[in-house]
Amino acid sequence: MTSLPPGPSASPAVQTAHWLLRPIAFLESCRRRFGGTFSVRFLGFRTPLVMVSDPDTVRALYSEREHGLPVGRTFALRPIMGPRSVLLLEGSEHLERRKVMLPSFHGERMRAYEASVAEIAAREIDSWPLERAFPLHPRMQAVTLEVILGAVFGVTDPSRRELLGRLLPRLLDSTSSANLQFRILLARRVNRPGPLIRLHELTHEIDDVLLSEIAERRRDPGAADRDDILSLLTLARFEDGAGMDDHEIRDQLVTLLLAGHETTATGLAWTLDLLLRNPLVLRRLLAELDADAGDGYLRAVIQESLRLRPVVPLAGRHLASELRVDGLTLPAGTDVTPAIWLLHTRPDLYRDPLAFRPERFLEQPPTTYGWVPFGGGVRRCLGAAFAEMEMRIVLSSMLRSRVLRAASPNAERPTRRNVTLSPRYGTRVIASQRAEASRDTTSRPDPTRPPDPRALTAPDPRTLTGPGPPTVTAPDPRSSRPPHSQHAVV
């Protein structure tokens, strides 16, 4: 029998607590002790989970279409997303739905959403307080929720939109804590109903609104002329001529909400935190925006942010067949996942890997499987291009209209929220109105000239991993310390 790579000897409960409370510290500790490939044991999993961080291994893992999903993802997400979610289906069913949904997030259809995203961002930015600290992350959540309601759900009825605007954040907040993640895994371990069952009343209320919207869209003779994704789904047909029923469309809408709302908002919050702590990078980006010199550096900033602060830390597979690559052999039935942060901080792939240096994406873009913030293969995030478009528009809107500065001298540290790693204190910033005079490009550096690398702020690894081995001590909520520097193990 093939043996699995070594890993920590602590109990599954202790390893799960380390992972939920200090995920980056846990990963770093494992890499120091066992190298880039190791096995961990979490509550709710009967077998170890193998984490890998070699791009060739990631390529081999993602290139095999027959590999399935780790069981833990289905257990935790099905009660919220529903049984027909494209994120949870396997095999031909998954591929059929992916084929139908993917065009909505690319090409002309995606470009049709740009003006709407810009309008939503402008309204949100206009509501920000001036000269007073506030957390940016909730503001980004408000933007991405509005984009979901408009571009994805296409809700135009004011009362229905207002109701969903109240109910959906409650659903997201109810599934966000590390404590909930632990209870989900513990329930699976003892074969008991999970704590998400308590959300049934809320989900039923949301379902009633969504199903009414779906029924109304089916009756709309102009649905074919609309740009929103709900309208597309009501008209979509598979190769056999069948379409999705109302409940399946509901599942896809909730999936797109959970997969696209929190992740994009978190990516924006991390990007601002990194920019505000690297002033030369920020100055070069502002120069590009002010000069209307294209969006090459803006794209590189977002790519570098997603490298250094990947929002989703794991995107695993359940092996349908043996995985064999570069001396590593894993048997069929093994759960395997790239440890995305470890992959993104390999010094052989990225020189000075902890430095925030967007120029690296202009000079020598990484290999396909050396940068995987959206996963890879046939399960790569459907909305990856949409998310990057949304981030570009919102980020440029913020920087063109406001002068932002960090409210704390300390960089944010990650905490789990749903399946994401989010800024613990929400990226607190202070905003000022940006005067027209400040946009005079004569006082700004040449946007094509890279900043002096000696002036770039390389994040202290201790802000991510802590000074020693991981502990299970949660932050004291009573602490008055100023801010510094998430639904299942998937």
Positive or negative: CA dihedral 256, 262, 266, 269: positive
Q: Can you give the residue ranges of every domain in the chain?
A: 12-461
Is the pLDDT at 443 greater than 70? The verdict is no
Question: Which of 88-97, 181-190, 321-330 is predicted most confidently?
Answer: 321-330
Read off the pLDDT band of 111 (50, 70, 90).
confident
Rg (CA), the chain: 22
Instruction: Mark residue 243 as left, alpha or beta (left: phi above 0; alpha: psi -120 to 50; beta: remaining).
Output: beta
Quote the tokens at residue 172: 């997201």
Tell which CATH classification among 3.40.980.10, 3.30.43.10, 1.10.630.10, 3.20.20.70 matches the domain 12-461: 1.10.630.10
H or E segment and range at residue 308: helix 296-308
Q: How crowded is residue 295: how many other Cβ atoms within 10 Å of its Cβ?
A: 16
Give yes or no for a contact between 269 and 423, defined as CB atoms under 8 angstroms apart: yes
Quote the tokens at residue 256: 């797109």
CA separation for the pair 363, 358 (Å, rounded): 9
In degrees and rounded to multiples of 5, residue 415 shows phi and psi of: -140, 155
Is the pLDDT at 467 greater than 80? The verdict is no
Is the pLDDT at 42 greater than 70? The verdict is yes
Is the pLDDT at 462 greater than 50? The verdict is no
Is the pLDDT at 439 greater than 70? The verdict is no
Amino acid symbol at 321: S
Read off the pLDDT band of 127 (50, 70, 90).
very high
H or E segment and range at residue 281: helix 279-290
Bridge partners (DSSP) listed for residue 68: 318
Measured CA distances, 331 to 49, 323, 347, 351, 377 (Å): 12, 6, 29, 34, 20
Q: Which letter, b or e, does each residue of 21-35 get, where b requires 16 or more Cβ atoms within 10 Å of its Cβ?
A: bbbbbbbbbbbeebe
Measured CA distances, 203 to 79, 151, 170, 251, 276 (Å): 9, 21, 10, 11, 38
- Give residue-wise pLDDT tens across range 288-340: 999 999 999 999 999 999 999 999 999 999 999 999 998 999 999 999 999 99
Read off the pLDDT band of 483 (50, 70, 90).
very low
Pairing of strands 328-330, 323-325: antiparallel
Give the rounded percent of residues in the chain with a pLDDT score beyond 90. 62
Is the pLDDT at 385 greater than 80? The verdict is yes
- Give residue-wise pLDDT tens across range 222-231: 999 998 999 9
At residue 435, the pLDDT reads 80
- Give residue-wise pLDDT tens across range 255-294: 998 888 889 999 999 999 999 999 999 999 999 999 999 9
